[in-house]
Amino acid sequence: MQSRLNAVQYRLWTGEFLSAYVTTMRPYLLFVSGITGLVGLSFVPGIDMFKASLVFAACFLSYGFGQALTDCFQIDTDSLSAPYRPLTQGIISQMQVLVISVLGLISCTSIFALYNPVNLALGLIGGLGLATYTPFKRKWWAGPFYNSWIVVVLCLMAFMTGNEKLSSALSPSIVPVVITVFFGYGNFVLAGYFKDISADRKTGYNTLPVVFGRKVSAFVSDMFAALTIMPAAVFAVRMLGESAKLLPAAVALAFEAAGILAAVVAQLRLHRTRTDEEAHAAIAPVVHSYLLTLSSIVCFEKPEWTAFLVIFYAAFVLVLKVRPAKNQI
């Protein structure tokens, strides 16, 4: 804490500030919101490349802006569990990050609203969710669920850029996707708590692992993983019978199989985790599984995006590999 008090803060709009803010955004996790948006976009019929690119960019960046925003309210526990982060070091200020993050989220929401005004309301709801996440993280029964519904809103915002009525989100095709996003991201959040147990316990964040321990939390995570994989697998089986293009279907099945394998590896490792420092080995395959599973759905829905999805996943693997702290995901 003393080093934070003695730190020299970077001035806004300097190269140093930009670098520090990008670190705060967690570039390796921008792919999480990117694929979440893509899966929503894949259900937009006849979408043109310019619109798809613009909405995808908004989805991709929204995680970073949202993550930076929530970090502003968790400096206490992050100072113990993630001292490498610029906010905990004090080299960028809470106010600087708040302003840039809010402006960034407003910009992303504006892009969504450009194609459907309903997204203004959804964006406001999601933004309020981000701003109020921290109190819910302190409650063992709420954290993963509260975080997940916000990510589901992002998926629906991408979906709504090509669908006028919000009721269309209740169609038989999109419901399994929403379930996969909800429990897939919820599992990432829950697994992520495993790396911060000591810090969360000291700072009053009563997460599930803090209250009930790693063993019980790992079994809950197993249920989340199953509820992620099952609807996606059912979707894959149904789509396989309708697919007319052999190569994209083969790639989609490969994504699905790899996603299931990554999920199994993640859960086995999570059950073997005994310390905060070991948790990253289980968290990483949870993220891989999320990206691979949703990529399978996108590949079935938009076969013409297959090559991009392969490049997208390869880029994620590379960016994840060069993250600044190996024990942080």
Of 19-28, 45-54, 111-120, 158-167, minimum mean pLDDT range: 158-167
pLDDT of residue 7: 63
From the list 152, 138, 131, the residue with the least C-alpha distance to 39 is: 152
For 204, residues 6+ apart whose C-beta sits below 8 A from its C-beta are 138
How far, in Å, CA of 103 to CA of 217, rounded? 36
Structure tokens at 197: 């147990």
How far, in Å, CA of 95 to CA of 274, rounded? 37
The answer to whether 100 and 36 are in contact (CB under 8 A) is no
Exposed, middle or buried by CB within 10 Å (0-12, 13-18, 19+), for 147? buried
From the list 70, 72, 63, 151, the residue with the least C-alpha distance to 104 is: 63
Q: Under CATH, what is the fold of the domain 2-321? A: Farnesyl Diphosphate Synthase (1.10.600)
Which amino acid appears at position 162 of this protein?
G
pLDDT-derived band at 2, boundaries 50, 70, 90: very low
From the list 162, 166, 151, the residue with the least C-alpha distance to 118 is: 166
Would you say residue 57 has pLDDT above 50? yes
Residues present in the chain in total: 329
In the block, residue with structure tokens 């929530």: 70
Q: What is the pLDDT of residues 120-130, one digit of tens each?
A: 999 999 999 99
In the block, residue with structure tokens 């998926």: 155
Average pLDDT of the residues of the chain: 93
Domains of the chain, residue spans = 2-321
pLDDT of residue 143: 95
Q: What is the pLDDT of residues 166-217, one digit of tens each?
A: 777 777 788 999 999 999 999 999 999 999 999 999 999 999 999 999 999 9
Would you say residue 27 has pLDDT above 70? yes
pLDDT of residue 327: 77
How far, in Å, CA of 73 to CA of 309, rounded? 34
Q: What is the pLDDT of residues 151-160, one digit of tens each?
A: 999 999 999 9
| Alpha carbon distances (Å) from 300 to 18, 139, 244 | 38, 38, 10
pTM given for the model: 0.93
